[in-house]
Amino acid sequence: MKKILFDLKKQYYFNSLYPLYKVMKQDPRYDLWIRSGKDQHRFLGVFMISNRGKIQSELRSRGFQVTDRTSGFDGVVCGDALKKPEKYGDVPKFHLDHGVGIKTLRIRNIVRQKNARYHVFLEGQYWYDYIKSLGYENTAEFHVTGLPKLDPFFQPGHFDNPSLVSRLGLDPGKKTVLFAPSYKPSCIDHIGDSILELLPQYNLVVKLHPYSWGGKYAPHSQHRLYQELAGNHREMFLVPADEYDVYPYLFLADTLISDTSSVVNEFLALGKHGIIYQLPKSNPRHSDGMPVLSIDPEDWLKGAFPHISRPDQLQSAVELALSPSSGMKQKMEEYRNYFFTELDGKASERVKHCIDSVLLGDK
């Protein structure tokens, strides 16, 4: 029996790993364990508080085997490059990125680890072509299999829209707009309370990035603004901080408003038109010179998703996204086919087949 560690650096990475975990759990040849990171939040603006104990307790209560160990396993599955890969030993490392967007951190973190080699699973041809354009195609074993994270979207019955509408108290006769900005760079400072202009014509759901709540990577002002707005406008629903899974809301929404968040591409995978808030041009780069984004936001899904740069464009953009032209629909299919491969709910099976071949010699 092969002992496998699922390394959960951040709690919200769970949904990127769990579809594969479920498939591997059915195979008696594997013994599965989960290790949680600290996933800290900032308290009183100064103190960093670890959430590891809380996360571990929740996992144990759900029946998962939990460990603090990093060594003694036959393989490691992770949602990001491991923080100190040498601690895990010289074993195969399987990388399932927690996001499917255009931020280059997913490949940068792998390339920087010169002494670690990963099996990296990609959602489609686009990312492999981008990696190849940088000359990094030999820094890891890349597999264009699709990502398990997306599987639930394409498994009938996984999400229950009527129940969610009822729980949120939404009007089933209205279209639902999901506002899901990133934490950095973010359109929150640009849109602010202007998002309320979509009321009462639409159901409005706001889902913030987990980092927008923690105070470590983004200021607490991001969540406080929308907590105040939700408290004063009952037609707006703010997804609570402890509900980190955005997928039920992406599946429910008729359109999406976001910025540089990976939810934009995830919405594309669903075959629905979203809206990209284009932030002021800055061409941000990492300290080593690598661009923060793999695509200029001006060109990202251009012709398929409306782009806006001012809050007063929200209404018209929502109307366009909800009634796309035939040209927009055609363009969306082109992007969808390039960014993603085999959106069939079976990426977990393909990833497991690769893992089986590495660890068990299966063909």
Residue 341 near residue 146 (C-beta atoms within 8 A): yes
The ranges assigned to domains in the chain are 2-153+345-359, 157-339
Instruction: Indicate the CATH number for domain 157-339.
Output: 3.40.50.12580
User: Can you state the angle between helices 14-25 and 347-359, rounded to 10 degrees?
Assistant: 70
Least Cα distance to 329 among 273, 254, 270, 265 occurs for 273
Mean pLDDT of 38-44: 64
The span from the CA of 116 to the CA of 5, in Å, is: 16
Band of the pLDDT at 149, cuts 50, 70, 90? very high
Q: Is residue 325 predicted with pLDDT exceeding 90?
A: yes
Q: Is residue 265 predicted with pLDDT exceeding 70?
A: yes
The reply to whether 157-339 shares the fold of 2-153+345-359 is yes
Take residue 302 and report the two structure tokens written for it: 């251009």
Choose the weakest-confidence range: 33-37, 76-80, 201-205.
33-37
Q: Is residue 46 predicted with pLDDT exceeding 60?
A: no
The span from the CA of 236 to the CA of 226, in Å, is: 9
Which string of DSSP letters, residue by residue, matches 109-156?
A: HHHT-TT--EEEEESSHHHHHHHHHTT-TTSSEEEES--GGGGGGGST
Mean pLDDT of 78-97: 95
Taking the CB of residue 226, how many other CB atoms lie within 10 A of it?
22
Residue 279 near residue 190 (C-beta atoms within 8 A): yes
Q: What is the pLDDT of residues 156-203, one digit of tens each?
A: 999 999 999 999 999 999 999 999 999 988 999 999 999 999 999 999
The span from the CA of 246 to the CA of 258, in Å, is: 13
For residue 162, give every residue at least 6 positions away whose Cβ sits within 8 Å of its Cβ, in sequence order, or none: 172
| Correct CATH for 2-153+345-359 of 3.90.660.10, 3.40.50.2000, 3.40.50.720, 3.20.20.210 | 3.40.50.2000
